Chain A
């Protein structure tokens, strides 16, 4: 199933984990539990030594994974062993560039990955990777931030496939207590010509529900899950995902019902 199909079927819950954290062997099992709990898309992170877009939780996970021997070869090996869920690559550009853009995209394809998120690759720099990804039928997912001007949003959308990743707030990844008004405003500013998934700071079921109510087509949760993995609380991880998915579905069902009534 490709990403467009996923967004046609539902408003997906996209769950990020850092591959290799706490160890390469455990990642496949953790991914399976996440899928069982209701994640619609798995965003599988390739750890990097210098993750400039990430907050302390994902930094720590990346360091644990690298220390446990994680590398790009193991990454694709792990990815190909995870079934039953659409998978998206998330990782920093140097890791992709070092392997070779075409080889990287081809390895994604071979291991069942259908999209790529590269947080330090803004659109101006993305053409070589976009072309490589497109040769292998992989979506390159662009990000849009609260400070992205309207004109640039339109340009980013015109160069996007799969979905666009709306960054809910400025700063880096990491849980936050509340969603900001600026997030709602950002969703309104991005025309719904391509699915819009929102991430950064999403950590609770009520956040996910609120985002769906605000018009998000999908919700991305990362640090909250990575934090639980770091504390080996895998039952709580499953529980969080289940509650998030339920909260999102309830909103969707209610809004569908209200549309029928009106």
Chain B
């Protein structure tokens, strides 16, 4: 009681820093997850949905042209080919089914750019939930199309007007909702952040990316890659692909949003690089690395990729970086745009601006990749065309 058990912590990070009202719902969620992941009926149903509905397994594609251009053998893990256009569906299907088995009637979720909101709305429609998505007012303005998508899928989008009116405030608002609605409602958190058990649940639903990658690369190359590169906002696609390789001799590189530079203003930072530039602290229920001012107020982050625009990061990643197992790197807006265009031209694949950070980094730093590398293409870039057009016209 006095100390929570060690599996909820990752070194000094993680934990469950939440109001007392949320403790019991989180305990019940952790118990349900432990029970159901061992239940063959649950895992059978989830695998079937992953295959027939989401489109798993995704290809591991040997990018010949990119490989030639940078002089390294590079494979792309094609999460962009999933239903919904990103890896987010792995987690929303998993948690949606979990909520169904827990007999919840309603899903709530936060969303920044709208990708997790759309993935939640898809699962809400599929499994018959009432679905409500919290989204910052500023983000609603920036992402009209995704708002419409969510509504089309039957979800209600609730504008968040508090704080900075972006992703971090949408999470606050979802937590507040859940504190009053937990009996009927599951909070479907979208990344490996938040209080225990979310970092573990989301990691386990996303690790399918890494599990597939491992067997695919072994089948193709008869060996493990020298490196894996993934972008990190909250860290769900990175933890998904890294997790099965933690014990292996593979370099794991987490690329954060370098944004416009390393500066930090009074209320905001010019980047989203919590692992690289953050300090330990508590945000959204977990001890992790966060962007904060000298008094502990949370700073607003910045990135051209909305999915990397978050002032915190998953606690397990903070731990893996502290122990030296995962290396951090940053790629700024400019590098991301370069990666976005390069992959489009070289391979005929338009990556999400988030994934483009990993691509851009790999192109600029081939020496970090070793001979054989895998880049996680966590999503497709159709959603980002207007952002890139706007960036170009400045």
**Which A residues fall within an 8 A CB radius of B?**
48-53, 55-56, 59-60, 63, 66, 71-73, 92-99, 119-125, 127, 142-149, 152, 155, 159, 167, 170-172
Contact = CB atoms under 8 A, between A and B. Distances in A.
A49 B179 CA distance: 19
8 contacts: A50-B169, A97-B282, A122-B18, A124-B15, A125-B4, A125-B16, A127-B3, A171-B176
Interface of B: 1-4, 15-21, 23-25, 162-163, 168-169, 172, 175-176, 179-180, 182, 279-285, 290, 292, 294-298
Closest 3 CB pairs of A and B: A98-B296, A171-B180, A95-B296
Interface centre among A48, A52, A143, A159 (most CB of B within 10 A): A52
A48 B129 CA distance: 34
A29 to B, nearest CB: 24
Interface centre among B1, B182, B285, B298 (most CB of A within 10 A): B1
A122 B296 contact: no
Contact of B2 (A73, A95, A127, A144): A127
B182 A123 contact: no
Given A122-B23, A125-B4, A49 B297 contact: yes
A142 B290 CA distance: 26
A51 B163 CA distance: 10
B19 A123 contact: no
A6 B4 CA distance: 33
Contacts of B182: 147, 170
A120 B18 contact: yes
A50 B176 contact: no
Contact of B163 (A59, A143, A144): A59
A124 B3 contact: yes
Contacts of B175: 52
A148 B24 CA distance: 7
Contact of B179 (A95, A122, A170): A170
A168 B56 CA distance: 47
A152 B1 CA distance: 8
Given A94-B283, A124-B2, A52 B172 contact: yes
Given A94-B290, A94-B296, 5 more contacts: A49-B297, A50-B172, A53-B176, A56-B162, A119-B19
A10 B295 CA distance: 36
A60 to B, nearest CB: 8
A94 B176 CA distance: 18
B378 to A, nearest CB: 26
Contact of A63 (B163, B180, B290): B163
A24 to B, nearest CB: 13
A51 B171 CA distance: 11
Nearest to A121: B17
Contact of A48 (B19, B176, B284, B296): B296
Given A63-B163, A94-B292, A120-B285, A52 B2 contact: no
B40 to A, nearest CB: 30
A172 B179 contact: yes
B3 A155 contact: no
A49 B298 CA distance: 6
A71 B296 CA distance: 9
A123 to B, nearest CB: 7
A98 B294 CA distance: 7
Contacts of B292: 94, 98
B284 to A, nearest CB: 8
Given A59-B162, A72-B296, A143 B19 contact: yes
A143 B284 CA distance: 19
A72 B294 CA distance: 10
Contacts of B2: 123-124, 127, 159
A55 B176 contact: yes
A130 to B, nearest CB: 9
Contacts of A119: 19-20
Contacts of B283: 50, 94
Contacts of B25: 147
Given A52-B172, A59-B163, A124 B296 contact: no
B19 A53 contact: yes
B295 A99 contact: yes
Given A170-B179, A170-B180, A95 B295 contact: yes
Contacts of B21: 145-147, 167, 170-171
A48 B283 CA distance: 11
Contacts of B179: 53, 170-172
